[in-house]
Structure 1
């Protein structure tokens, strides 16, 4: 199983609250409507910053994080290059994301405890 962590930064003309509202209320419902037979996404999670900070510890300069679990990198590549992703998801991302700042991490989990 591959976990894809996607670091998201809002468009410069949006506030953080506008970004979160668009991401959760308009973009996320699009994902639920996508054909499940194209690529199996086993899990999708959104991480929304709380705004908290700890003195002396840097806070990541992102507006949110999306996590996707897929069976393989090949499945991820198929999803991100699919017609549906390109014409529905990526097109809508332009409404709230600065895609030039989006970063992807492809990883496997190594559970240490918990």
Structure 2
């Protein structure tokens, strides 16, 4: 299983609150309306930052993180290059994301404790 952590930055003309509202109330429901079986995603989680800070620790400058689990990198590549993704999902991302600043981390998990 491959986990993709996708680091998201809002469009410059949106506040963080507008970004969160669009991502959670407009974009996420769009994902659930996609054709069944076309999305090879096993799990999808949204991480929304808090206003918490720890003195001396630098905070990442992202508006959110999408975590996506797929069986293989080939499934991820198939999804992110599919017509459905490019014409529906990516097109809608233009409404709230600065896609030029989106960053992907491809990883496997190695649980240590918990």
The Cα shift of 1:36 comes to 2.8
Aligned to 1:87: 87
Deviation at 1:37, TM superposition (A): 1.7
Instruction: Work out whether 1:6 is the aligned partner of 2:16.
Output: no
Quote the Cα distance in structure 2 between the aligned partners of 1:60 and 1:30.
Answer: 27
Alpha-carbon offset, residue 28 of structure 1: 0.3
Aligned length: 114
Question: Does the aligned pair in 2 maintain the 1:39–1:78 contact within 8 Å?
Answer: no
TM-score of the two chains, using structure 2 as the length reference? 0.98
TM-score (norm 1): 0.98
For residues 63-106 of structure 1, the C-alpha deviation after alignment (integer angstroms, 9 at most, x for no partner) is 00000000000000000000100011000000000001000001
Which residue of structure 2 lines up, in the alignment, with residue 98 of structure 1?
98
Q: Unmatched 5+ residue regions in structure 2?
A: none
Shift of residue 51, structure 1, vs aligned partner = 1.2
Inter-partner Cα distance in structure 1 for 2:62 and 2:36: 29
RMSD: 0.7
Query: What is the alpha-carbon distance in structure 2 between the residues aligned to residue 24 and residue 101 of structure 1?
Result: 19
Aligned to 1:42: 42
